[in-house]
Structure 1
C-alpha cells in the first residue's frame, strides 16, 4: 500500500499544509521548499505524478525496477539518483548475512525533493525509516539554502550508515584474526564466518564505490549551487567521507582475504605438526614391536626360555625407545 509523507518550508521556516495532491502547486512557488517521501508507490500514482512534474519516464521506471544499481543521472529539469542505505542485523548463524540494503531513489527538482522507497524483499527485514533523515534536515538548519540542503541531509544519513556497516565488518574481521592465533585454535565455524564477511563486503562494495560518482555528479550539477555557495564545504566533506568509506571497504577486502588464506596455511601447519607427532610415536612404538616380533619366531635363538634373554630384550627395547624419544624431542617432533 502506498504511503506518502512530506514536509514543507516557506522562506526557510517549517510550514504546515503539505498534501500530496498539491505538490506541483508548491513547487511553483519560489519561496517554498518541499520534500515528499513515497513508500511502496503504486505505478499509476507515480506515473501521474511524473507526468504532472515533467519527470523523465525512464527515471520513473528505474525508481521502481528491481535490482537497480547505484547511479546518478542529470536531466535538463531535474536530477535522478539511486542509493542504498545499509543496516546491520544481529548475526543468527555463521553463514547468514547480517547486511540489509534499502534502496532510495530521489528526484531533485529546483525547489523540491521527491524520494521513492520500495519495501524490503524479505518480509522480516526492518524497513528503513526516514525519521532520521527528517531529523537531519532540522539539524542542518539550512533549508533556507534550497533543495541542496535536503539532498545533503539524505546523503549524509546514507553515508553514515555505510560507515557504521564498515565499522561492524571491521570489528568482525578483527575478531577472526584474534581467533586465528588463539592458543586453543580457532572456534568452530571460522571458515563459514569468513565466507560470510567476504560476501557482505562484496555486497557493500557494490553500494559504496559508486557513491563517489553519485556525490560528484550531484555536487557539480546542483541546481542551487549559484544561490547557495554555503553548501559547497558540506558537499566537499560528504565527498571526503565517501572516499574514506570506499578506501576502508577495499582494505577490508584485503584483510578478509588474508584471514582466509592464513587460516588455510595454519591448518596445513597444524596438520604437519600432527603428522610429525604421529610419525615420531609410530617410530617409537615400532621398536618394541620389532623386537618382540623377532623373539616370537618359532626358531632357536640365544636366550630362548631363559631369564637372561628376557632381560636383554627388555633392556634393548627401553634403550632404543629412550634414544628415539630424546632424538625426536630435540627435533621438536614430540
Structure 2
C-alpha cells in the first residue's frame, strides 16, 4: 500500500496507514488523497469500499482480472479500468507486449488505484511531482489526469517501439525467395503482440473523452486542455498500432505469395524436366519392347536411336526454355 495526501499541490503527508487516512482528510479540509493497493484481497477492498461508499459492482470489477478498458459512472464516484503497456523486443527474441491492469476509484476527495500486477508506480508519482503549479489548481481531477497521462505515454512509447521494430523485419521479409522460417515466426509474434496492444489502447481515447466531456463536473476549465492533449496522444497511439498491424499483415501475406510463386516455379521446372526425361524413355521403350527399330541389330541403328533421343530431348528443352519454364 502507498498513500499520499496533497494540499495546494504539495505533498503534506505520505506513507501513512489506511486507518489514518480519514483523520488526515478531516484535518486538511482542502486536501485530496491517493491510495494505491497492489493485488488487494476482497476483504481489503471491502474495508475501503465501506469507508468511501464504493459500489459493489465497481469493487467486483476491481477484483476481477482482464476487465476491458472502460469508465463507469456511479452516484458517488467513477470507476476506471486502464492498461499501462510495455513492448519487449531485443534482437531475434520473439516480441512480447506486457500489460499492467490498473483499476481506479475516483471519489470527491480521493483517487484509489488498484494494481493487479507489479507496475512502475514511481513514474506516476514523478508525473504528479513534476508540475506543482498545475497540481495546485486541481484536486482529484489532477491526480486522474496524471494517471491517464502516464498510461497513455506508455502506450504511445510502445506504439513507437513497434513501428521501429518493423523496419528490420520488413527488409528481411521482402528478400527474393521468401523469408526464412525464423523471420516468419518473428513476424507472427509481432502481429500477436500488436493485437494485444490494440485491445489495451483502442478504448483509451473514449475513456478520456468520457471524463472530459462538456457536461462533466469533474474536470475544470484549466485542466480540460490537458485532458484533450492526452486524448490526442491516445488517438495517435492507436493509429500507429493499427498502421503497424496492417503493415505486418501485408508483409506476411506478401511473403506467403512469394513462397507460392517459388513453389509454382519449382513445380513448373520439375514438370519440364519430367517431360524431357519422358521423351527418351518413350523412344527406348517403343523401339526396345514393341518392334525392331530401323537398324535393328546394326551398329548404325544404335547411333540413329541415340541421335533421335538427343535431338528430340534438346528440341523439347529449347521449347520449354523459350517459354520460361526452365
TM-score, normalization: structure 2? 0.87
Q: Which residue number in structure 2 is paired with residue 147 of structure 1?
A: 140
Q: Does 1:71 align with 2:65?
A: no
Give the distance between the partners of 1:171 and 1:303, measured in 2 at CA: 74
Distance 1:139 1:147, change over 3 A: same
Q: Does 1:304 align with 2:296?
A: yes
C-alpha deviation, 1:293, in angstroms: 2.6
Give the distance between the partners of 2:91 and 2:167, measured in 1 at CA: 19
Q: Which residue number in structure 2 is paired with residue 128 of structure 1?
A: 119
Aligned with residue 323 of structure 1, among 295, 307, 315: 315
Asked if structure 2 preserves the Cα contact closer than 8 Å seen for 1:208 and 1:246, the reply is yes
Q: Which residue number in structure 2 is paired with residue 106 of structure 1?
A: 104
C-alpha deviation, 1:140, in angstroms: 3.1
Asked if structure 2 preserves the Cα contact closer than 8 Å seen for 1:87 and 1:99, the reply is yes
Aligned with residue 10 of structure 1, among 2, 7, 17: 7
Deviation track 1:63-97 (CA, whole Å, cap 9, x = no partner) reads 11233221112233322101011122357998x77
C-alpha deviation, 1:105, in angstroms: 0.6
Give the distance between the partners of 1:286 and 1:89, measured in 2 at CA: 56
Give the distance between the partners of 2:184 and 2:169, measured in 1 at CA: 10
Asked if structure 2 preserves the Cα contact closer than 8 Å seen for 1:80 and 1:107, the reply is yes
Aligned with residue 161 of structure 1, among 154, 163, 175: 154
Deviation track 1:253-272 (CA, whole Å, cap 9, x = no partner) reads 33343334333333322221
Deviates more, 1:298-307 or 1:99-108: 298-307
Aligned with residue 283 of structure 1, among 264, 275, 299: 275
Give the distance between the partners of 2:19 and 2:199, measured in 1 at CA: 36
Deviates more, 1:15-24 or 1:40-49: 15-24
* Structural RMSD (CA): 2.6
Aligned with residue 26 of structure 1, among 24, 27, 34: 24
Q: Superposed, which structure 2 residues align to 1:179-258 within 5 Å?
A: 179-189=172-182, 192-220=185-213, 223-226=217-220, 229-258=221-250
Asked if structure 1 preserves the Cα contact closer than 8 Å seen for 2:177 and 2:259, the reply is no
Asked if structure 2 preserves the Cα contact closer than 8 Å seen for 1:212 and 1:242, the reply is yes
What number of residue pairs does the alignment pair up?
A: 321
TM-score, normalization: structure 1? 0.85
Deviation track 1:306-333 (CA, whole Å, cap 9, x = no partner) reads 3322222222222222222222222211
C-alpha deviation, 1:298, in angstroms: 6.7
Give the distance between the partners of 1:271 and 1:58, measured in 2 at CA: 57
Give the distance between the partners of 2:99 and 2:127, measured in 1 at CA: 20
Q: Which residue number in structure 2 is paired with residue 123 of structure 1?
A: none
Long gaps (5+) in structure 1: 120-126
Asked if structure 1 preserves the Cα contact closer than 8 Å seen for 2:86 and 2:98, the reply is yes
C-alpha deviation, 1:176, in angstroms: 4.2
Deviation track 1:123-182 (CA, whole Å, cap 9, x = no partner) reads xxxx22211111111223322122222212211121122223333443455544433321
Deviates more, 1:107-116 or 1:78-87: 107-116
